[in-house]
């Protein structure tokens, strides 16, 4: 019922018009308020009234920027990932040794994916995706898929240099990421543990690198 009310109100506000290009600060204000509400009460329990209040804007202003709660949450997901510097910094660009580069990448990957805030967002998205699949798709494209494609690019470079022999670098990227994450995500998401030790991270990542190189290491030329 609440969703129908919000939709009706959005339709009634269609004539407000679109924000101008210099309204970035207001949009940021709304995104920040939305993050606070979504992460504290979840997608279903959040309302546009709550978000407007947290953002310090009127409901009319909120709907001028985002015509629904779904659109706002999707924008939050994409912006959260787009603004994370780790997206471009996970893989050391100047390390020519695949073993060393992958070891560095694996450790940074685990550190990037497992903080409490990232896991909270993943839980909220997973719950909402059952009702709104496009939210899950937005999260996957902005985060996990982006990571796979970035790693693929680096693996392609190693293949071109002759230091790795990989027939399908997209598949290999997925495999390496999954090996590095081990069962970390399951244990953290289900609250089996609340944190990881550096020792278990190092052991898992180093094992992943070893298995990966045994599968895809280039055969030395005679």
11-27 per-position pLDDT tens digit: 333 333 444 444 688 99
pLDDT of residue 6: 43
Residue 189 vs residue 204, higher pLDDT: 204
- Is the pLDDT reported for residue 162 higher than 70? yes
For the chain, give every domain's residue range: 2-75, 86-216
- Residue 222's pLDDT band, with cuts at 50, 70 and 90, is very low
Are both 2-75 and 86-216 of the same fold? Answer: no
**How many residues in the chain?**
222
pLDDT of residue 3: 45
Which fold is adopted by the domain 86-216?
Answer: Tetracycline Repressor; domain 2 (1.10.357)
- Is the pLDDT reported for residue 104 higher than 90? yes
pLDDT digit string, tens, across residues 127-149: 899 989 988 998 888 888 988 99
Q: What is the mean pLDDT of the chain?
A: 85
pLDDT of residue 87: 55
Pick the CATH number of 2-75 from 1.10.10.60, 3.30.160.270, 3.20.20.70, 3.40.50.300: 1.10.10.60
Rounded mean pLDDT, 36-53: 93
- Is the pLDDT reported for residue 65 higher than 60? yes
Contacts of 72 (CB under 8 A, 6+ apart): 30, 34, 48, 51, 62, 65, 66
Q: What angle do CA 71, 72, 78 make, to 5 degrees?
A: 90
pTM, two decimals, is: 0.76
Q: What angle do CA 34, 36, 42 make, to 5 degrees?
A: 80
Percent over 90 (pLDDT), the chain:
54
Q: How many CA atoms lie within 13 A of 43 on its CB side?
A: 24
């Amino acid at each position: 019922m609440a969703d129908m009310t919000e939709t009706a109100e959005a339709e009634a506000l269609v004539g407000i018009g679109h924000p101008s290009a210099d309204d970035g600060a207001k949009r940021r204000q709304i995104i920040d308020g939305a993050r606070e509400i979504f992460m504290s009460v979840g997608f279903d329990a959040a309302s546009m009234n709550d978000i407007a209040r947290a953002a310090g804007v009127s409901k009319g202003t909120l709907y001028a920027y985002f015509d629904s709660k779904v659109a706002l949450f999707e924008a939050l997901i994409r912006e959260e990932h787009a603004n994370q510097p780790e997206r471009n910094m996970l893989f050391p660009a100047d390390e020519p040794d695949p073993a060393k580069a992958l070891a560095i990448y694996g450790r940074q990957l685990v550190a990037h994916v497992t903080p409490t805030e990232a896991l909270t967002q993943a839980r909220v998205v997973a719950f909402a995706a059952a009702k709104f699949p496009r939210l899950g798709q937005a999260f996957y494209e902005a985060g996990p898929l982006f990571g796979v494609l970035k790693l693929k690019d680096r693996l392609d470079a190693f293949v071109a240099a002759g230091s790795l022999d990989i027939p399908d670098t997209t598949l290999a990227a997925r495999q390496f990421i999954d090996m590095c994450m081990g069962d970390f995500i399951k244990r953290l998401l289900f609250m089996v543990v609340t944190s990881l030790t550096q020792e278990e991270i190092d052991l898992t990542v180093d094992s992943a690198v070893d298995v990966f190189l045994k599968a895809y290491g280039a055969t030395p030329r005679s």
